[in-house]
């Protein structure tokens, strides 16, 4: 097998388009220059289209978790009441960060594979006064997406700030930051945004800025007030990942050229094809039907089979990398990402390789059935 011919199908880092890499290969520019300031300004204007917001969007040089920590560190003071809506591993991480900043965290766990139940949120908000509510747009660990519009409508009736982890969602799954009353939205470069890892993008509402001004938690690199001071001059507090900024602009230009509604429709189509293929092969989807993420398909490992063994064959024989299950789901599920720089033939490759790997493992199935189901979706059939 050719070592270089690899098919990366994990939910981050995701494949990077050639146009992004070539933008990143341009000569480095100094970050205290007019050129950088102009680029940062253009990037923010394009990000505001993706985020559907008029809010400030700070581009921070750290991974998605750094963005999540910045959101919490600047709004949660010791003892503040925090409601954490947890639907998987990343929701848990958000809650852990709030605890690290000594928030008084009320963690509500929904069954893994299911999305947030709005009735539970309504009840919680009725009986408690929270300063901050934490939610996940796209729970990558379980392949579930949450109803941020619904959560936002409920939180918006209270004084609480809504902080949303959109790390794997933004860029592939629509978000209406302003309309849905999301106070802080965090995303990162290496998922649906089609970049290498290294940047977090954080939008901050005017209401959130008021709270941030009163922050009493210790922070330095992650200070959003410091970031804002520089942002007002289209600059960054510390040295930014200059090349990643250049790549980010190229990736955003690709999205603008395709049109955001087409970007979202493409992700939905890929998800539909992947789901049809999984069912045609007699496999089971992990996420509940009404909660399935259009960006990542989580599949239950067949009875008596460790999903990680399937993944080993996929990688070794076909150069295809799927993601495994995290925490309690290890070995029990595997996940195919179709986010960012992904299109129809990626799903065909994924399903074809999956079929061959399952047959290799001695699982009886009719090869081609999954591929055919996906093909039918792409041709507009049933």
Chain residues in the site for ligand PLP (CB under 6 A): 11-12, 63-65, 90, 136, 138, 140, 165, 167-168, 188, 191, 197
Q: How far is the CB of 15 from ligand PLP (least distance, A)?
A: 15
Asked whether the beta carbons of 65 and 168 are under 8 A apart, the reply is no
Residue 289 is classified by DSSP as: G
Give the residue with the Cβ less far from ligand PLP, 61 or 375: 61
- CA dihedral defined by 290, 296, 302, 308, rounded to 10 degrees? -150
Residue whose CB is less far from ligand PLP, 107 or 122: 107
Instruction: In angstroms, give the least distance from the CB of 83 to ligand PLP.
Output: 18
Among residues 267 and 373, whose Cβ is nearest to ligand PLP?
Answer: 267
Between 297 and 352, name the residue whose CB sits nearer to ligand PLP: 297
For the bound state, the minimum distance from the C-beta of residue 272 to ligand PLP, rounded and expressed in Å, comes to 21
Which is it for the CA torsion 272, 277, 278, 283, positive or negative? Answer: positive
Prior bond of 13 cis (ω within 30°) = yes
> Quick one: 323 or 374, whose CB is closer to ligand PLP?
323
Tell the smallest beta-carbon distance from residue 283 to ligand PLP (Å): 23
At residue 184, the 3 state secondary structure works out as strand
CB of 324 to ligand PLP, least distance (A): 14
For residue 291, the minimal CB distance to ligand PLP (Å) is 14
Query: By the 8 A CB rule, do 206 and 178 touch?
Result: no
Pair 162, 329: CB distance under 8 Å: no
Helix 148-155 × helix 118-127 angle, to 10°: 20
**Residue 343 C-beta: closest distance to ligand PLP, Å:** 21
Which segments within the chain are labelled E, that is strand?
7-9, 56-60, 81-86, 104-109, 132-136, 138-139, 144-145, 161-165, 184-188, 200-204, 296-300, 320-324, 333-337
Nearer residue to ligand PLP within complex by CB, 12 or 294: 12
- Kindly tell me which of 46 and 191 has the beta carbon lying closer to ligand PLP: 191
Phi and psi torsions of 183, nearest 5°: -80, -45
Closer of 24 and 134 to ligand PLP (Cβ): 134
Task: Tell me phi and psi for residue 84, to 5 degrees.
Answer: -110, 120
Contact 239, 31 (CB under 8 A): yes
Least spacing, CB of residue 213 vs ligand PLP, in Å: 26
Q: How far is the CB of 168 from ligand PLP (least distance, A)?
A: 3
Q: Which residue is nearest to ligand PLP (CB)?
A: 64
CA distance 139 to 124: 21
- Report whether 125 contacts 154 (CB < 8 A): yes
Nearer to ligand PLP, 75 or 136 (CB): 136
């Amino acid at each position: 097998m050719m070592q270089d011919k690899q098919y990366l199908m994990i939910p981050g880092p995701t494949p990077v388009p050639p146009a992004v890499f070539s933008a990143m290969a341009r000569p480095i520019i100094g970050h205290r220059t007019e050129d950088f300031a102009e680029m940062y300004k253009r990037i923010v204007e394009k990000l505001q289209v993706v985020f559907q917001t008029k809010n400030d969007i700070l581009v921070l040089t750290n991974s998605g978790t750094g963005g999540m920590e910045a959101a919490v560190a600047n709004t949660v003071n010791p003892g503040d009441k925090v409601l954490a809506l947890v639907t998987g591993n990343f929701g848990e991480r958000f809650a852990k960060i709030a605890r690290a900043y000594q928030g008084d965290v009320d963690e509500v766990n929904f069954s893994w594979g299911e999305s947030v139940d709005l009735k539970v949120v309504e009840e919680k908000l009725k009986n408690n006064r929270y300063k901050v509510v934490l939610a996940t747009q796209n729970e990558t660990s379980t392949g579930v997406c949450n109803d941020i519009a619904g959560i936002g409508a409920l939180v918006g009736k209270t004084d609480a700030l809504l902080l949303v982890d959109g790390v794997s969602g933004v860029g592939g799954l629509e978000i209406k930051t302003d309309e849905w009353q999301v106070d802080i939205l965090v995303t990162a470069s290496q998922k649906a945004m089609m970049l290498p890892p290294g940047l977090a993008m954080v939008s901050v509402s005017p209401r959130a800025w008021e709270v941030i001004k009163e922050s009493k938690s210790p922070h330095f690199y992650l200070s959003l007030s410091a970031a804002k001071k520089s942002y007002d001059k289209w600059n960054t507090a510390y040295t930014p990942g200059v090349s990643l900024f250049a790549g980010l602009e190229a990736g955003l230009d690709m999205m603008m050229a395709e049109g955001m509604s087409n970007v979202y429709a493409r992700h939905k189509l890929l998800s539909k094809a992947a789901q049809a293929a999984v069912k045609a092969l007699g496999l089971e989807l992990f996420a509940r039907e009404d909660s399935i993420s259009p960006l990542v398909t989580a599949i239950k490992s067949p009875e008596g089979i460790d999903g990680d063994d399937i993944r080993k064959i996929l990688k070794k024989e076909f150069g295809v990398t799927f993601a495994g299950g995290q925490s309690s789901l290890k070995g029990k599920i595997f996940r195919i990402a179709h986010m960012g720089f992904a299109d129809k033939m990626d799903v065909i490759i994924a399903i074809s390789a999956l079929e061959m790997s399952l047959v290799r493992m001695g699982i009886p199935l009719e090869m081609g059935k999954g591929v055919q189901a996906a093909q039918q979706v792409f041709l507009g059939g049933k």
